Structure 1
Amino acid sequence: MPLSDKEISKIFLDQSEDFILFFNEQMEIEYLSDAFEFTLDFKKENLLGKKLNEVWVNFPSLPLMKPEQKMVIPITSAVSKQKFLIEFKFRIITDLEEYPDRIFCAIGRDVTDRELALKKFKDIAFKEKELNQMKSRFVSMASHEFKTPIATIVSSINIMELLLQKEFNEEIKSRLYNHIEKITNQTSRLTDILGDVLLLEKTIQLGGGLIGQKISILKFITQLVNAMNDENFGRRHIRLFAPDKDQFILSDPTLLTHVFRNLIQNALNYSPGSVDPEVHLIYRGSFVEVMVKDYGIGIPKEDRKNIFGSFYRGSNVGNIKGTGLGLNIVWELVKKLNGEIWFESKVGLGSEFHVSLPSK
């Protein structure tokens, strides 16, 4: 006896690798293909008659299911808890004799690999776009920042050449020394900019392959503060507050030096004429916290969300020199060291920068 059309349809539906389901206008499930059991581990008999968006909460409500519309819906396996991304296409069936009301059909297929590959591609494209934007900002900043010091160097050299052709008296010597100092300062500024750019590039290239060294944090911070006090020739004194007991951490001394030297130098730069900056070493369980505090100009509220961005400088820095890269590099380095950095600040009262590092 030949198979009936109904039997053939059932065999076709049951053997299909697609996820096929029928549901009524109350969104109650009328039929499920075997793919729901074989791939997603759901027992069909447990789902029949239940509301579709109660079984899978990510399913849209009925008004959102447009005919021939495709929609990717996440479904988690009932047993393995593996997450699948199923692309469903919706259809409305109105010509069934046994069902006077409308029946809705959803036909889906597993697009998990496709969607994950697409997400990865989008992430790469976003990072590339972000990198290109950063490069553009650097070119813009560099063209502006390099122009002024180079022009100063050239004009100072020209003046020196003219002065050298005349008789050397005390006034000429004084003017020569003045221009030599300008050249020294501006070339130092160029060196700082280039150094920050190179360090930022090196930081990006480091990836996650750091090999930590055992560091005595109290000894490390004490030596760094003493060295910076010596470099200041007594003009400003950095005050250190630390426990008597030392503690060891596993970290990179070169990166740590740059992080804390930059924060301390900022505290000196942005608190001219104020109370001397402070460095506090605090032990917090399995973490070591270093807080750098100054009593300077503070950070305006509108600048705080961008303070760790590249080439960003606060709106109230005035003539205080800087490249806008320092805190961005510090933020990147702290991340490489598996640490956290945050700050608190009040305009006119000063800022506190906190760095927390794992000690175990």
Structure 2
Amino acid sequence: MKEKILVVENEIIIASDIKSCLEKAGYIVPGIAAYGEHAIAKAAEFMPDLVLMDVMLKGQMSGIEAAAEINTRFNIPVVYLTAYSDQSNLQKAKTTQPFGYILKPFEENQLITTIEIALNKYQKEVVMREALAQEKEQQKNQSQFFSMLSHEFRNPLNNISVCTELLTDHSHQLNETKKDEYLNHIQKSVQHLEHLLNDILLIGKAETGKNQFDPKPLDLEQFCRNLVTNIQLSASQNHQIIFNIVGSNSSKENPRLVGLDEKMLLHILTNLLVNAVKYSPQGGKVKFELFYVTGEVIFRIQDEGIGIPEADQENLFSSFQRGSNVGSIPGNGLGLAIVKHYVQLHGGNISFASKPGVGTTFIVNLPI
């Protein structure tokens, strides 16, 4: 589709000639204006790709003033039409950062060429601005990431340092129960650091594109049953994981097998099931369902836990983001970011619904 060009010209006959010339060249002219105020209104209405602006307009507002307003409010490129080439007008016009000048009288070829150059130049500027904004956002995200990373490492390291100091300096004053307690704190902190490092390595692989997606035939039903057995063993007696299958695989070659990346799927489902148990501190049922539909499998994991506050839901899949209601429940906020990446590598989708105090449901769709 050709670009839209708004013509703002003091003389109606010249404006009509310009309109005809532009339309003959394939451009769309959604409107003509002779007053600065009208030009601004039409720019707001039509949002053109470029404005041809006469320096001298009817009314109290000049073309330069109208161009400045259009540039500020809508960031639309402007090319000036002018019968004047004196330095005073040129200096005023430069402050509005125009994309070209056309001196009257002009040839049709000159008009079209100037417009094409202006549109091309503007598109390049847009690309550069977007790239710069993206780079700034990336730098901001990296800064936040390392700040949060530092915080996540500091807590377990402090615990190890304090407990080690107590055991070293006050060992003779501590009974065996206290010593075991401090050693347990150290062990848990080391495990936390180990999990954190593993998750950071996975995030790093995701950001550098080093995760190799390797789908292979998988007995999905047996895979899920084994996973439930393993997680149920580590869960408390107050938690009950209920696994159900709806439908069946339509593959004629071997209905038991589906093509998925086993390692990534293990991480996806383990993380979601462990979270369902972990964030249900009072216990309850965790429903784990596998649905076979045409061309894909769907996993639904539903818990009766603490839920996710609405204010936290928007950024749930971002690194180091956790619900504000997790309290002392351990975690580093990296798991769901990795889960989403693995789901996307499968070409799938992950969504959730949650209500504080009621529970959370995650749904993962994976094409097969």
Instruction: Write out aligned runs for 1:26-65 (5 A).
Output: 26=16, 29-31=19-21, 36=25, 52-53=29-30, 58=48
Instruction: Write out aligned runs for 1:1-360 (5 A).
Output: 24-26=14-16, 29-31=19-21, 36=25, 52-53=29-30, 58=48, 66=63, 71=77, 89=100, 91=102, 93=104, 107-110=114-117, 121-162=128-169, 164-165=171-172, 172-206=175-209, 210-232=213-235, 234=237, 236-243=239-246, 245-246=248-249, 248-359=257-368
SS in 2 for 1:188: helix
More helix by proportion, 1 or 2? 2
Consecutive unaligned residues of structure 2, counting only runs of 5 or more, are: 1-6, 32-45, 56-62, 68-75, 80-97, 250-254
Counterpart of 1:219, as a letter, is Q
Structure 1 distance, partners of 2:323, 2:236, is 28
Compute the displacement of 1:125 (Å).
3.7
SS in 2 for 1:314: coil
**Residues 354 and 360 in structure 2, CA contact (< 8 A), matched pair in contact too:** yes
Consecutive unaligned residues of structure 1, counting only runs of 5 or more, are: 1-20, 37-41, 74-86, 96-104
SS in 1 for 2:315: coil
Structure 1 distance, partners of 2:296, 2:237, is 33
Compute the displacement of 1:129 (Å).
2.9
**Residues 238 and 283 in structure 2, CA contact (< 8 A), matched pair in contact too:** no
Compute the displacement of 1:117 (Å).
5.6
SS in 2 for 1:215: strand
Counterpart of 2:346, as a letter, is L
Query: Over aligned residue pairs, what C-alpha RMSD do you find?
Result: 3.9
Counterpart of 1:231, as a letter, is S
1:192 to 1:116, Cα distance in 2 relative to 1, 3 A: farther
**Residues 71 and 88 in structure 1, CA contact (< 8 A), matched pair in contact too:** yes
Compute the displacement of 1:320 (Å).
1.2
SS in 2 for 1:322: coil
Structure 1 distance, partners of 2:133, 2:318, is 17
When the two structures are superposed, what TM-score results if normalisation uses the length of structure 2? Answer: 0.68
1:62 to 1:125, Cα distance in 2 relative to 1, 3 A: closer
**Residues 249 and 358 in structure 1, CA contact (< 8 A), matched pair in contact too:** no
Structure 1 distance, partners of 2:124, 2:22, is 29
Structure 1 distance, partners of 2:299, 2:119, is 45
Question: Which one has a bigger Cα radius of gyration?
Answer: 1
1:249 to 1:133, Cα distance in 2 relative to 1, 3 A: farther
When the two structures are superposed, what TM-score results if normalisation uses the length of structure 1? Answer: 0.70
Question: What fraction of aligned residue pairs are identical, expressed as a percent?
Answer: 26
Compute the displacement of 1:119 (Å).
5.3
Compute the displacement of 1:236 (Å).
3.1
**Residues 22 and 29 in structure 2, CA contact (< 8 A), matched pair in contact too:** no
Choose 226-235 or 262-271, whichever is displaced more: 226-235
